[in-house]
Structures are given as structure tokens and as C-alpha cells.
Amino acid sequence: MNFWKELPKPIFVLAPLADVTDAAFRRMIAKHSRHTRKDGTEGGPDVFWTEFVSADGLCRATPEGLEKLMADLKYMEEERPIVAQLFSSNEEYMEKAAALCADLGFDGIDINMGCPDKGIEKQGCGSAMIKNPEKAAAIIRAAKRGAPNLPVSIKTRLGYNKDELEEWLPLLLAESPAVVTIHARTRKEMSKVPARWERVARAVEIRDALKSETLILGNGDALSLEDARQKVSATGADGVMLGRAIFGNPWLFHPEKDISNVTLEERFEALIEHTRLFEELLPHKSFAVMKKHYKAYINGFDGAHDLRAVLMEQDNSEKMADILDNFLKANK
């Protein structure tokens, strides 16, 4: 079943961010962004994405390694619809991994063809797929074979060293993915230049000219839901994927709440809750991963800089909770 066809537009989705949108943080987002969505269901973003997971690893890992990878595929029912993002340049492994994700109950499969990490590219994956369109097509077909009842989508960029949208997008659309999410920068640009949303508008024109039913989502520099709505209006895209704006802001997808308007007590409570979930769900991960969120949670108020410096020295939620409690008492 292609759940994408049932979603009211515009569609606002959670980006897959390695070591950010893990099981703990997604659970926070599901809780704190929960509202009545346009289709009448209760939830946060219209669609959740997992962190990206190596299809090769899922097929070849040792039992210990597989356990760690499977932790990246943990989810709860409140996160539906949820899409598992995979990467691979091996068709056999992609097919098997897609089948595994179908068995795990995911609502869709997404293939990463945009990650600029050199380690990922050395495997022929991520952005490297843009340079190998025949392989990209084969990988899409493999995912469809592995999960024939699930919609398969693609996340990619405008091009590799230069903008290749005019050539690259039609090749992807020829494989009839349910969705193509376009990060509106090239691989070479990374995130060093502003996202070019006029190219997302062009992607919509290309899709329409080819009479494709694939949805087009834009990605890059969307700072809030309101900003995302404006980008949809300006481009004609079917929706927006929000990424970096989610840091320390599990309220991002709530129509009325945001980190800018919750109380300091609420913010601290959320950080403590988030950290405890991280310890509970992801005990194998370094605590440094959790600290990525501190700058966003602890920001924009008197004393934030010094408080954050103290928190960065801690290594568990109990110490952190005591420090935050003492800060609130001292600043009443």
C-alpha cells in the first residue's frame, strides 16, 4: 500500500539525520509535536524517517554488529507512518534489507542517494549514486523487489560537482519512486551555500512535464513549519523535509508550540526526558551523541553559555538533572 497517496498536502516530514533522529529523539518528537494532523490522525510530523542504515551491514554483520544496527530500526506505533532509510550499492543486499524492513512493519523504504560522507561514498553509496545512474536504477528496483508492497522513495541532491537536475531527476522518475526528496544543493556545496529552492520548483516542472505521479519534497534551510509552508507556496512542491531545525526542538512539528515559546522549565524537562530515553534505548552509543542536542536546548537565555559548558562535562542523566534543577532554583 502506498500511504503517500493518502496524505493531505502539504506534507511535512522529519529528515533522517545520523546520530540525531535516533529512536530516543523520534520518541520525543512523537510526544511533544503530537497534534491532530490534517488527515484527522494524531501524531507529530506527517511522516517519520529513521537514521540511515547500511543494507550491507544488515546482511553481513556479526550478531553484535547486527544488534547495534537493529537499534537504529527501533520505532513505536506513535511514529507511524515511518520510513526506513537504507543505503547500499549492492542489489542483493538492498533487496534483502528492504524485505527485512517490510517484515519489521515499516510503512515505506527510502534510499539515500545524497549523503556526502566520504566513507559512505567509498562504498558507492550516498551522493556517489549520482555519478552512477545505472546502479541507482538497479538499487531502486532491488528495493522494490524486496518490499513489493511498500512504497520506495529516494533522497538525493541537485547533482554531484554541478547542478545535474535536468538529467538526474528524469532518470529517477523513470523508476517510478513514490517520492523524491531533493536537498537543494549539490554534493560539492555540502551545506556551505543557501539551498536553491528555485531548483525544487524546477523539479516540480520536470515531474509535471513527464506526467509522473512521484511526489516532490524539498529539503534545505527550512527553519520552521511556517517557513516550510512558504517554501511549498513558492515552489509548488508537495511538501518539505525538515532537518537541522529539529535539533533540540521536539516541538518543531506542533502547530502552536516551538522551542521559542515553551517555558525554560518545559525545555529542561524535555532535555532530561530525552537524555533518559537515550540511556534506556541506546546504551551502546557514546554519550557524546546525546550532547549534540545540548547547544540547541540550552540556548537563548541568561546563563546558557556557562550552563551548557557544565553540562558538556557530564556523562549521565542524573547528574544533568541535578544541575538543571539547581539552575532553576538559583534563577527564580
- The string of DSSP codes covering 214-277 is -EEEEES---SHHHHHHHHHHH--SEEEE-GGGTT-TTTTSSS--TTTS-HHHHHHHHHHHHHH
Q: Where is the domain boundary, 246, 274, 306?
A: 246
Active site residue 101: no
Task: Answer yes or no: is pLDDT of 332 > 80.
Answer: no
Specify if 254 maps to a domain: no
Question: Average of pLDDT values for 253-282?
Answer: 92
Specify if 252 maps to a domain: no
CB of 196 closer than 8 Å to CB of 231: no
| Residues 103 and 16 placed together within one structural domain of the fold | yes
| Residues 238 and 268 placed together within one structural domain of the fold | no
Confidence band, pLDDT 50/70/90 cuts, at residue 192: confident
CB atoms closer than 10 angstroms to residue 100 = 20
Specify if 290 maps to a domain: yes
Distance separating alpha carbons of residues 171 and 237, to the nearest angstrom:
19
Work out how many domains the chain is built from and give that number.
2
| Residues 180 and 269 placed together within one structural domain of the fold | no
Window from 102-106, 144-148, 228-232, 255-259 with minimum mean pLDDT: 255-259
Task: Answer yes or no: is pLDDT of 225 > 90.
Answer: yes
Specify if 258 maps to a domain: no
| Residues 146 and 47 placed together within one structural domain of the fold | yes
Q: Cell 535536468 appears where?
A: 166
| Residues 92 and 160 placed together within one structural domain of the fold | yes
Specify if 185 maps to a domain: yes
Q: Which of the following is catalytic: 59, 101, 115, 125?
A: 115
| Residues 129 and 276 placed together within one structural domain of the fold | no
Q: Residue 63: its pLDDT value, please?
A: 86
Q: Residue 258: its pLDDT value, please?
A: 81
Distance separating alpha carbons of residues 132 and 178, to the nearest angstrom:
21
| Residues 273 and 239 placed together within one structural domain of the fold | no
| Residues 241 and 268 placed together within one structural domain of the fold | no
- For the record, the C-alpha cell of 33 comes out as 509535536
Q: Which helix (H) or strand (E) holds 15?
A: none
Q: How many CA atoms lie within 13 A of 292 on its CB side?
A: 15
Domain that holds residue 318: 264-330
| Residues 302 and 212 placed together within one structural domain of the fold | no
pLDDT in tens, 71-129: 899 999 999 999 999 999 999 999 999 999 999 999 999 999 999 999 999 999 999 99
Distance separating alpha carbons of residues 162 and 167, to the nearest angstrom:
12
pLDDT in tens, 9-48: 999 999 999 889 999 999 999 999 999 988 888 889 999 9
Residue 66 neighbours by CB under 8 Å, 6+ apart: 57, 58
| Residues 227 and 296 placed together within one structural domain of the fold | no
| Residues 131 and 170 placed together within one structural domain of the fold | yes
Distance separating alpha carbons of residues 254 and 86, to the nearest angstrom:
27
Question: Average of pLDDT values for 217-237?
Answer: 97
Specify if 253 maps to a domain: no
| Residues 169 and 272 placed together within one structural domain of the fold | no
Q: Which residues pair with 219 in a beta bridge?
A: 183, 241
Distance separating alpha carbons of residues 138 and 133, to the nearest angstrom:
9
Specify if 225 maps to a domain: yes
Specify if 183 maps to a domain: yes
- Integer-rounded Cα radius of gyration of the chain: 20
pLDDT in tens, 291-319: 989 888 999 899 999 999 999 999 899 99
Question: Average of pLDDT values for 174-197?
Answer: 96
Distance separating alpha carbons of residues 243 and 273, to the nearest angstrom:
21
Distance separating alpha carbons of residues 325 and 71, to the nearest angstrom:
31
Q: Where is the domain boundary, 219, 246, 273?
A: 246
- Is the pTM value of this prediction over 0.85? yes
Binding-site entries for FMN: 85, 155, 183, 243-244
- pLDDT: which is higher, 110 or 255: 110
CATH number of the domain to which 206 belongs: 3.20.20.70
Binding-site entries: 85, 155, 183, 243-244
Percent of the chain with pLDDT over 70: 100
Q: Residue 7: its pLDDT value, please?
A: 96
Average pLDDT over the chain, rounded to an integer: 95
Q: Residue 114: its pLDDT value, please?
A: 97
Q: Where is the domain boundary, 246, 281, 309?
A: 246
